[in-house]
Chain A
């Protein structure tokens, strides 16, 4: 591909992306969510006034929506199994009831209840953090066991303590002087109050999900390692998700109090939390509209059963069947519906994306960077042992600032183990690792990333649930402006800022991983076979871009690569690993012509 054609292609690439119509619509989910809630409530109000649906049910739909929105953050977005959502609701309800009965803030008038609800939510959040701190060190299914146990012991506690009002047969006042009866004339106002609260929670959850916290939750669901090596503390990401979810649970508990005016422990038992989790999985409750739909299901199905005089448990049977279906197929109603709606436009956009990538070509050619001569990364006597296997031993490597070091070797030579050890994932390695004079040996992966040592992965670590821009923002951690991110994406021929990563193929995602890694401006970026998904022409183009990185962006590179053409075209120095030990190290020519290297490595796979 000629340079002329290349630049022409670049122009057309931009045009194609512009034509794709991936524009920023910050209001879109809001409008969708708010519209569905408001629309649904209007329908509910009409239903409630003309039939015996009743406003208690409408209120319950909204309360369940809030519970599911919270649960969606922790199970849907952050990918954890949490089986104690109603324990948080119980905590919130308990606080609201206690404060109401003790008139803690009665000087606030109608807003006193709102204040109590906020306190309840705060308490639930604190409880979430206290439980989360130890529990979130446990991964995946252990967390499920711990949260299920928690819901059980918390149930015991609430039964033992009893809600404050049940001890004296007192009922709290509803907010804003709403009358206290279960009749429609009063509960219609409760439903409206719940609507406003639900709308606020929905908006808050949407914005949180689009924030860097939200990206971190999605990232943690996809890959804990990927999260850590982007400089985000995995436990912090999980804890924020758990706390936000608990806070929403606490708010829902407050709404229960607004509706029922007195708590009842059986409302919050472990079985109910199980049902809620399954419901969340069925609908995909991290989506606002689907959380509302989940609320509708949880209320309308029992309503139909009541009308038919059928047992309530049939509703749970239905949830069980749908839950098994949803969890085995890994899909949910929300995604299915969205996929259905978008299929057509998506296919067109997908075609455009792949066309652009095939057009990606070279940029102005620069020589292989020589560097400043100052040692940036110094690794001395590094050793890693898995059981009896020595994956790395006595590895000494120095990366000079401003250069691209190639790390090569046959499969299983210990290259990726080396990166893992240096980036902090193998804390029990021996030897010394220093970056710019700072020892990294006892630091966590996220700290190491923040100190300026970043890495990419052989496997796909880019979550498909966010846009390119959200991912870039997450990875760069505020180190790059929007313009800089756009520039780097463009430089590497990546899709534009608002492109959903779900439309991008794996090879391109690897490219995006490299580009965003560069945009984060680390001192050293370690690339683990970044070009594996690219064809030969793309390889060459990619190499020409890599050569510019040290001078253009001030980022030193360490490159693991099998394609020796690429290595030869970008690396001034090369280190060869074999059986976990350094076989050869030094200038490109010297290493590649070293007979030892030829014998041990090249001979068996590729010819020079």
Chain B
């Protein structure tokens, strides 16, 4: 399989040269008949391709069924690798300069919200983030994410640890920017204020090119924690769990929803771990009946075995959220009318059963649109997630939104 992919890549380079020489440029086309409704997605196609790929498939089905009043929705994915600020900036500038693009849907590039949030605000363009990572994805008037984001999610993660009886949890989460560092420190404070449980240790190492957080984990372990709350994506957290194991510990580990994919429990480091691993999944667990349509869609996407289930769900829901908003639009579909419909607080339909709460864009300056989690666990050595539930709502946990930067003054 891989070998044929390589062949494709080689042919691809040749084709790129050919196309560049002839000056042609490709473009997507919809199957439906009307003027297409254009939406763009800024995605790290080699890092986090799931959301945009699944969202595009959702639109394909939607268009096949007639589209929006006969207008197909066309999603264009703009590649912006993690760390390629210029690509993310150009992607946003292109989308904004192209007046026919009505919204951003299903974007998932690390840090894209922080890079572009101000541009979208200035241009009056709304963004339905697929996988929103940095805190600006949740604190910008024009952006609402399908997922629940690292701050809400790690709050729920810590909540679960304390609910399980932890009285001295340790917190280790890597942060790629000052805003996220600030957010994490606020989460740490908030949870203590809400539960009265003091942290045994808090480590917020900066994410750097080295991408190694063993030192922080070991430092935390030195403080007699009774539970470990880890923030990060699958490879980073799996590495952290390997560090815990290497120090002879089998403390219960609480991880973020980005680890909720079948690959994580099967990861050798996780599978070998002697302690319990627990996650507050942001969407319905994979064995839930509400995923039936999603499972059908995702089968049509040529997903790689390493793709994240959670991110795929996020892309599916971002597309559905956009369609839901579109159906609220009065008059012509333009950037302005889509934004108006999104920011309208009234008449949002009932929740999609894949989420624990109704998803609303709305007029607020902050959008914790997805604010519920579903508990899942890995029994030591089992290699699979076991759904536990039930849905846990923001109100149950006394969650309050956290700004991206300290309030002025």
Contacts and interface: CB of A to CB of B under 8 A. Distances in A.
Contacts of B119: 181-182
Interface string A511-552: 000000000000000000000000000000000000000000
B20 interface: yes
Contacts of B82: 266
Interface in B97-125: 97-98, 111, 114-116, 118-119, 122-123
A355 to B, nearest CB: 45
Interface string A244-275: 00000000000000001110111101111000
A171 B85 contact: no
Contacts of A166: 114, 177-179, 405
Contacts of A2: none
Contacts of B389: none
Contacts, number: 140
Interface of A: 52, 54, 56-57, 60, 152, 155-156, 159-160, 162, 166-169, 171, 180-184, 187, 260-262, 264-267, 269-272, 302-314, 317-318
Nearest to B80: A312
B11 interface: no
B118 A171 contact: yes
Given A52-B97, A166-B177, A270-B209, A309 B90 contact: no
30 contacts: A54-B97, A56-B89, A56-B90, A60-B90, A159-B177, A159-B207, A160-B206, A166-B178, A166-B179, A167-B178, A168-B408, A169-B179, A182-B92, A183-B97, A262-B118, A264-B111, A265-B177, A266-B84, A269-B209, A270-B209, A302-B90, A303-B90, A306-B79, A308-B25, A311-B45, A312-B79, A312-B84, A313-B46, A314-B12, A314-B16
Contacts of A184: 97
Interface-centre pick from B26, B93, B176, B177 (highest chain A CB count, 10 A) = B93
A52 B79 CA distance: 16
A295 B146 CA distance: 37
Nearest to A259: B89
B13 interface: yes
A314 B209 contact: no
A72 B405 CA distance: 40
A54 B12 CA distance: 26
A162 B177 contact: yes
Contacts of B98: 52
B81 A306 contact: no
Contact of A183 (B20, B123, B179, B404): B123
A168 B178 CA distance: 10
B81 A312 contact: yes
Contacts of B78: 306, 309
B87 A181 contact: no
Contacts of B90: 54, 56-57, 60, 302-303, 306
A159 B85 contact: no
B209 A317 contact: no
A266 B111 contact: yes
Contacts of A187: 93
Contacts of B46: 311, 313
A318 B15 CA distance: 13
Nearest to B117: A169
Closest 10 CB pairs of A and B: A162-B178, A307-B25, A266-B83, A267-B85, A182-B93, A182-B119, A169-B405, A156-B208, A56-B93, A312-B79
A183 B96 contact: yes
A270 to B, nearest CB: 6
A306 B40 CA distance: 12
Interface-centre pick from A54, A262, A265 (highest chain B CB count, 10 A) = A265
Given A54-B93, A184-B97, A309-B28, A155 B208 contact: yes
Interface in B302-345: none
A313 B81 contact: yes
Contact of A266 (B12, B79, B85): B85
Contacts of B94: 52, 54, 306
A155 B209 contact: yes
A548 B46 CA distance: 73
Contacts of B27: 307
B77 interface: yes
A57 B12 CA distance: 24
Contacts of B89: 56, 182, 260
Contacts of A312: 45, 79-81, 84, 87
B178 A308 contact: no
A265 B344 CA distance: 36
Contacts of A314: 12-13, 16
B16 A60 contact: no
Nearest to B403: A169
B101 to A, nearest CB: 10
B111 A156 contact: no
Contacts of B76: 309
Interface-centre pick from A52, A57, A266 (highest chain B CB count, 10 A) = A266
A270 B405 CA distance: 27
B16 A305 contact: yes
B49 to A, nearest CB: 9
B221 to A, nearest CB: 23
Nearest to A168: B405
A304 B404 contact: no
A310 B77 CA distance: 9
Interface-centre pick from A182, A306, A309, A314 (highest chain B CB count, 10 A) = A182
B197 interface: no
Nearest to B181: A162
A271 B83 contact: yes
A162 B114 CA distance: 13
Contact of B404 (A160, A169, A182, A265): A169
A304 B97 contact: no
Contacts of B13: 314, 317-318
B216 to A, nearest CB: 13
Contacts of A52: 94, 97-98
Contact of B93 (A183, A262, A270): A183
A181 B209 contact: no
A370 B97 CA distance: 84
Contacts of B150: none
Given A167-B178, A314-B16, A309 B26 contact: yes
B192 interface: no
